[in-house]
Chain A
Amino acid sequence: MTTKNTRPLENILSTAQSLRWEIGVDFHEKVTESIYTDAAKIADRATTRPEEKPRFDFDKKLDQILTSRIWGFPLMLALLMIVFWLTISGANVPSSMLATLLLDNIHPLLKGFAANIGMPWWLDGFLFDGVYMATAWVISVMLPPMAIFFPLFTLLEDFGYLPRVAFNLDNMFRKSGAHGKQALSMTMGFGCNAAGVVATRIIDSPRERLIAIITNNFALCNGRWPTQILIASLFIGALVPAQLAGLVSSMAVVGIALLGVFLTFVSSKFLSKTWLKGEVSTFSLELPPYRPPRIWQTIYTSLIDRTFIILWRAIIFAIPAGAVLWLSANITIAGTSLAGYLINFLNPFGLLLGLNGVILVAFIVAIPANEIVVPTIMMLTVLVTGAGGGEGAGVMFELESGMETMALFQAGGWTLLTAVNLMLFSLIHNPCSTTIYTIYKETGSKKWTWVASLAPVLMGFAVTFVVAQFWRLVTSVF
C-alpha cells in the first residue's frame, strides 16, 4: 500500500509546497481567522443574550478587588494566614488525642502482648518500638494538620482563587525572565513538587519550561508543610504569650513559604541571565468564573486524593525507616551504635550550619519522603541523648504534649537557631526522590536533573551557614 501510493503522495507534497509560496506568510492568521469567523457565526445563531447587562456583576467586582494592585497581595497573604492559623490551632487537640491513643494506650498493649507470648526482645523491639512507633508517630503528627489544611486549600482552588494568584504573580515572573504560567506550576508545587514539575507542560517554550522545572522545588510541598508547622508552633510560637502563639507561628510558616517564592524569583532571574537566556513569551491567562465550592464533595475528595494518599506514602516510607533506624540504633560496634557513628561523623559539619548531625542524617533518611524528617529527628535524638520515655535506644517516644517534645529537643542541644535553620533547610534542600525522577522524565536530561537536585542543597548549606554565623555573631555581642 505504501509503495503503490508513493507517486501520488510525492505529487501532493510538491503541489502543497509550491502553493505555500502563493499563500504567503500570513497562512496561520488566515486559517485562524476563517475558523474564528465560522465559530462566531455558529455561536451567534445558537445564542440569545439578555437585552440589558446585569446591573451588578459579582465576579467582576470581586476580581477588581482580588487582583487589584493595592489589595491583591495583602489579601493573598491574609488568606494564606487564615488557612495556616486554622490549621495550626485546629490540629493541636486531635493530634494529642491521637498520640494518647496510639502511643500511650495501644503501644503498651502491644508490648504487654509481646511479653505475654514470650517474644524475643529483638523481635519485639524491631516490630513495636521500630516499625509500629514510626507509623503511629507519622499518623498522629501528620493526619490532623493535613485533614484541615488540604480541604481548606482545595476549597480555595474550587472557588477559583488560584488563577488569581497566578495573575497577581505574573508580572513578577516576567520580570524574572520566566513565563507567567510558572505561577500556576508553582502553585501546583505547593501541593506536590512532582505534580508541579509535570504541570510545567503548559509552558510552550523549552527555555522557560526548564526554569520552571528547576525552581519548582522552592514551592513548599505537602511533605514539608507539617515540618514547618510543627517546628514553628513549638519554637516560634513559644516566644510570645500563649494567646498570640497561633498567630505568630502561622506568620513564621507564611514567611518561609514567601521566602520560597522569593527564591523562585531570584533563581529564575539568575538562570535566565546565565545559562537559559532568551526572550519572555507572552500568553493569555483566563480567569475562570468564581464557582460556589461544593463543600462536602471537596472535603471528601481532598481527604481521599491528598490527605490519605500522602499519609499512606508517609507510612510506606516510615515503616522501613523505623525498622532501619531501630536496627542501626541497636547494632553496636565497640560500644557505639551504627547510627551513632554516622551522627558523630556529620556533627561538626551540622554545627557549622547551625544544625546538627542528627538533622543531617534525618534529611538523608528522608530523601524518599520529606514527610518523615521530624519523626526521624525525634527518634535519633532519643538515641543520642538517651532522653525520652526510658524505653531504650531507638524507640520513637511519646509525644504527649509540646512540653515534652521541647524538653527532648533541648536535651539534644537545640536552640532557637537550630529550629530556624531546620525550617530554612527544609525549604532549601534537594527535592524528594519522586520529584527527581519526575524531573528526569520531563527533561530527559541527566545534566539538568543533577542541577535541579544539587543546586538547592548547596544553596541550603550556604543560607544556613550565613544565618548561623550571623546569629552567633549577634548573640555573642549581646
Chain B
Amino acid sequence: MTTNTKDACETCPIHDAAALKKLGVDMSDFDYVVALAGNPNTGKSTVFNALTGLRQHTGNWPGKTVSRAEGGFEYGDHKYKMVDLPGTYSLLATSLDEEVARDFILFGQPDVTIVVVDATRLERNLNLVLQVLEITNRVVVALNLMDEAKRHGIQVDERRLARDLGVHVVPMVARQGEGVPELLQAVGEVANRKTVGKPYRVKYDSPELKKAVTQVTKQIEDAYPELPNAQWVALRLLDGDERIAEALRKGELGDLTHGDIEQRSAQLQVIGNQ
C-alpha cells in the first residue's frame, strides 16, 4: 500500500466538505445513487436539504414525505443522485410507503443507503437499521438529533454502535448542519468502495425459525453465490412473498454489485412510476 503524503488540511474531512457542491434538482450524469431512509420524523428531509441545497418543506410531524423526492450533489469529483424515501418503521411492506422504501433499497440498488436515526429513540430506530442491513451492506447510519439526546441526558457511544452494526455511524445535528462533512466523507468512502461494511445480521433464536432460515439461506447461497442478502431473501420466501420469488426468478436480485448505471436508472424509473 502506498500512501501519498498530504498536508494536514487535506487529511481533514472538512477539507473535502468544502468541495460539496449542492446541485439542487440537477441530477444529470450521476455516478452514484444515494438512498435516504429512516423512521418518520427523524430529520431525513433536513439531511436531504443539507446535501442537495433544495428546500424541500420539512415539518415536525411523521409521514410528511409520502412520495420520493430527488436531488443531486457533487462531492470529491463524483456526482450523486439522492433519493429521499418515505419514513417507515419497518420494511415488511404492509403499507404503500413501506413498499416504496423497501422496493427502492432492494431493486433500485442504491450505492449507499443513509439511514437517519433518532438518537433519543435508538432502540426503536435500530429495528429499521437492522432490516436495511439485511438487504444491503452499503449503509451509513446518520445518528441525528444528538442535541436532543444531550438535552435529555442520553449519551450515545457512536463508536460502539458502529462496531456492533458493522457500518459507519455519523453523529449529527442536521438542523444546524453539524456532522454534514463527516456524513459526506462516510458516504464517499462507501460509494467508492473504500470501505466495505460487514453488517450485523439478526439472530433468529426461535428453534424452528433458526432451522428453516439456515436451511433456505444455505440453498440460496449455493445457487446464487453473488447475492449479498441471502438470509433476508430466505426470510421473504419463508413468508411466502411472491414479489421476491418473482424477482429471484427474473434475476432482478442476481448481481447487486455489477449492475450498470444505465440499466439501474431505467429500473429506478420503473419503480418510481409504480
Interface, chain A (partner B; CB < 8 A): 1-2, 5-6, 8-9, 11-13, 15-17, 19-20, 22-24, 27-28, 30-40, 42-50, 54, 154, 157-160, 162-163, 166, 181, 184, 198-199, 201-204, 285-286, 288-289, 291, 294, 301, 304-306
Contact = CB atoms under 8 A, between A and B. Distances in A.
B266 interface: no
Given A5-B223, A27-B239, A36-B127, A157 B122 contact: no
B271 interface: no
Contact of A34 (B58, B204, B248): B204
B67 A201 contact: yes
Given A8-B219, A201-B96, A301-B57, A46 B203 contact: no
B13 to A, nearest CB: 22
B272 interface: no
Contacts of A6: 249
Nearest to B120: A289
A194 to B, nearest CB: 12
A54 B67 contact: no
A35 B130 contact: yes
Given A15-B219, A44-B123, A48-B154, A9 B248 contact: yes
Contacts, number: 186
A475 B202 CA distance: 74
Contact of A50 (B59, B131, B153): B153
Contact of A198 (B61, B66, B152, B248): B66
Interface stretch (B17-25, B74-82, B158-166, B181-189): B158-166
Contacts of B129: 39
Interface of B: 40-41, 55, 57-63, 66-67, 86, 90, 92, 94-97, 120, 122-124, 126-127, 129-131, 148, 152-158, 160-161, 164-165, 175, 200, 202-206, 208-209, 211-212, 215-216, 219-220, 222-224, 234-235, 237-240, 245, 248-251, 254
A368 to B, nearest CB: 23
Contact of A204 (B90, B95, B208): B95
Given A13-B245, A46-B157, 6 more contacts: A23-B212, A27-B209, A34-B202, A35-B127, A46-B160, A199-B63
A247 B41 CA distance: 35
A17 B131 CA distance: 22
Given A34-B209, A39-B126, A286-B40, A163 B62 contact: yes
A198 B96 CA distance: 11
B212 A31 contact: no
Nearest to B222: A8
19 contacts: A9-B248, A12-B220, A12-B237, A15-B216, A19-B212, A23-B209, A27-B238, A36-B127, A38-B130, A45-B157, A46-B156, A46-B160, A50-B154, A201-B67, A202-B63, A202-B95, A288-B60, A294-B175, A306-B57
Contacts of A33: 206
Given A11-B219, A37-B205, A157-B61, A16 B238 contact: yes
Contact of B251 (A2, A11, A202, A301): A2
B127 A157 contact: no
Given A1-B251, A16-B234, A27-B238, A46 B60 contact: no
B97 A22 contact: no
Nearest to A286: B62
Contact of B238 (A19, A42, A162): A19
A46 B120 CA distance: 12
B94 A42 contact: no
Nearest to B237: A16
A204 B63 contact: no
Given A19-B238, A34-B204, A42-B164, A9 B249 contact: yes
Contacts of B212: 16, 19-20, 22-23
B175 A28 contact: no
B59 A158 contact: yes
Nearest to B123: A43
A17 B212 CA distance: 10
Contacts of A163: 60-62
A288 B154 contact: no
B95 to A, nearest CB: 4
Contacts of A28: 92, 239
Which 7 residue pairs are nearest across A and B when measured between Cβ atoms?
A50-B153, A204-B95, A39-B126, A43-B123, A8-B223, A16-B237, A19-B212
B59 A35 contact: no
Given A19-B215, A42-B200, A47-B156, A199 B206 contact: no
B98 to A, nearest CB: 9
A289 B175 CA distance: 15
A166 B62 CA distance: 11
Nearest to A37: B205
B223 A12 contact: yes
Nearest to A57: B152
Contacts of B122: 43, 46-47
B250 to A, nearest CB: 7
Nearest to B94: A204
Contacts of A12: 216, 219-220, 223, 237, 248
A162 B61 contact: yes
B41 A202 contact: no
Nearest to B119: A47
B41 A288 contact: yes
B249 A49 contact: no
Contacts of B234: 16
A305 B49 CA distance: 13
Contacts of B160: 45-46
Nearest to A203: B95
A28 B92 CA distance: 9
A159 B94 CA distance: 30
Contacts of A289: 120, 148
B209 A31 contact: yes
Nearest to B205: A34
Given A8-B222, A16-B237, A184-B63, A47 B154 contact: yes
Nearest to B224: A5
A157 B67 contact: no
A294 B177 CA distance: 13
Given A12-B219, A35-B202, A286-B41, A48 B126 contact: no
Contact of B161 (A46, A166, A285): A46
Contacts of B237: 12-13, 16
A172 to B, nearest CB: 19
A31 B60 contact: no
B55 A39 contact: no
Contacts of B235: 31
A42 B15 CA distance: 33
